[in-house]
Amino acid sequence: MTNAVRLDQQDTPTTTLRPTPAQPRRSPGAPQTHEQVLMTRVGLQIPPGLSFSDWERTGRRLSDIVDSSAWWLGDWLVYGKKNYADRYHRAIQAAGLRYQTLRNYAWVARQFDLERRRSELTFQHHTEVASLPLDEQDRLLDQAVREEWTTKQLRSAIQLERTGSTKQERSADDGGSRIEVPNSRLGTWQRAAACSGVELANWVLTTLDQAAEEVLNERVVQTA
């Protein structure tokens, strides 16, 4: 389900995105055009003669890179925490990365082995189901692939199922635990969930899972 991408070891000032459309036959002696888009650290260098199809293809490629980078950074942090528990924080600071963002990426990456990641879906699709049981994750991701759901459609499906489950639990009156939350704190959580692009319930579950995993991992390191 995944495509391998090789990253060169040496740093280069620019990376070239080369659109590869089917080229029409050129008449002998006709001037050749070399359309390419250069990615630099501070922007794109786009040639003035770039065709619409190449411009559109470049946008799709950029979108793929942005989405894949979340997986890459998550896997990078997972590896660092596993192998360099006493030094990975310094590496994050040296790289100029935000630990909270990386921790979110790493938490999602840990929920999905490489073979379970759907290349047809975005990182955000996987984030939406990351707090669910494994079989539900796979079922919903498979359905999202089949029906070509957006993240919003997937989120709605999860919310619909959760609403149905809540009604069943209430009718069964199983005496589940409840937590009283002050309105001021609830408002803060709602804003944070909105900034993350997820429903409040999903944000709460994901955040609590992350916090629990962080504490347990640190405890393992301290006792090692």
How confident is the model at residue 114, as a pLDDT?
95
What is the tens place of the pLDDT at every residue in 81-111? Answer: 999 988 999 999 988 888 888 999 999 999 9
Label each residue of the chain as H, E or C: CCCCCCCCCCCCCCEEECCCCCCCCCCCCCCCCCCCEEEECCEEECCCCCCHHHHHHHHHHHHHHHHHHHHHHHHHHHHHHHHCCCCHHHHHHHCCCCHHHHHHHHHHHHHCCHHHCCCCCCHHHHHHHCCCCHHHHHHHHHHHHHHCCCHHHHHHHHHHHHHHHHHHHHHHCCCCCCCCCCHHHHHHHHHHHHHHCCCHHHHHHHHHHHHHHHHHHHHHHHHC
Q: State both tokens at 81.
A: 């925490």
Q: Which two tokens stand for residue 48?
A: 């003035």
pLDDT of 204 higher than 60: yes
Strand order of the β-sheet with 37-40 is 15-17, 37-40, 43-45
Q: What is the mean pLDDT of residues 158-181?
A: 63
Pairwise pLDDT comparison (118 vs 203), residue with the higher score: 118
Residue that wins the pLDDT comparison between 203 and 145? 145
Q: What is the pLDDT of residue 185?
A: 77
Query: Is pTM beyond 0.75 here?
Result: no
181-199 confidence digits (pLDDT tens): 776 777 787 778 777 767 7
Tokens matching residue 210: 């992350």
Distance CA 57, CA 22 (A): 12
Residue 113: pLDDT band with limits 50, 70, 90? very high
Confidence of residue 16 (pLDDT cuts 50, 70, 90): low
Q: What does the alpha-carbon distance between residue 67 and residue 36 come to, in Å, rounded to a whole number?
A: 22
With H, G, I as helix, E, B as strand and everything else as coil, classify residue 172: helix
Share of the chain above pLDDT 90, in %: 43
Does the pLDDT of residue 172 top 70, yes or no? Answer: no
Q: Looking at residue 33, what is its pLDDT?
A: 43
Q: Specify the pLDDT at position 22.
A: 43
